[in-house]
Amino acid sequence: MKRTFLLFGLAMLTLTSFSRIDSDKKYIKKTTIEVQSNDGEKLIAKSDCVGCHKLDKKLIGPAYLDIAKKYPNTDKNINSLADKVIKGGSGVWGTMPMSAHSSLKKEDAKSMVKYILSLKK
C-alpha cells in the first residue's frame, strides 16, 4: 500500500513538473463595444412610432429604410418630415393616415427624422 502511494505521488510529481505555469501571461479583458445610439433613435423607441413602423418591414406605415430611400437627407426634407410627424398626414404611402403627434417638440421630431434618414445605405 505504501508502495502504491509512493508510486502515485512520484507519478503526480513527474506530471506536474511538465506543466508550465506562465505567470507573465497577460490576460485581455473582454469588453463589448456599445454602439452609441443617437437621440432620435431613443425618442422613437420611447414613442408610439413602433406600433406602425419597423426598421425594415412595412406595418401600418412604411419601413424606416423605405423612408430613408425615398427622401434625401436635406434640411428641407428634415423640416418637412418633422412637420408631417407633428401634424400627421396621409396619401404619400397609401390611404392609411398617420396620426398627429402634436405634443412632440419640433426639435425632437427633427432628431427622429434625422435618425431615420441616416439609415439610407
The CATH number fitting domain 38-121, selected from 3.30.565.10, 1.10.760.10, 3.40.50.300, 3.40.718.10: 1.10.760.10
Which pLDDT band, with edges at 50, 70 and 90, does 1 fall under?
confident
- Predicted confidence at residue 19, as pLDDT, reads 56
pLDDT digits (tens, 9 = 90+) for 42-80: 999 999 999 999 999 999 999 999 999 999 999 999 999
pLDDT digits (tens, 9 = 90+) for 69-114: 999 999 999 999 999 999 998 888 988 899 999 999 999 999 999 9
3-state class of 53 per DSSP?
Answer: strand
- Predicted confidence at residue 73, as pLDDT, reads 94
User: Could you count the other beta carbons within 10 Å of the beta carbon of residue 76?
Assistant: 9
Residue with more model confidence, 21 or 33:
21
Cα(112)–Cα(106) distance, rounded to whole angstroms? 10
Cα(64)–Cα(47) distance, rounded to whole angstroms? 15
**Residue ranges per domain, the chain?**
38-121
pTM as predicted: 0.67
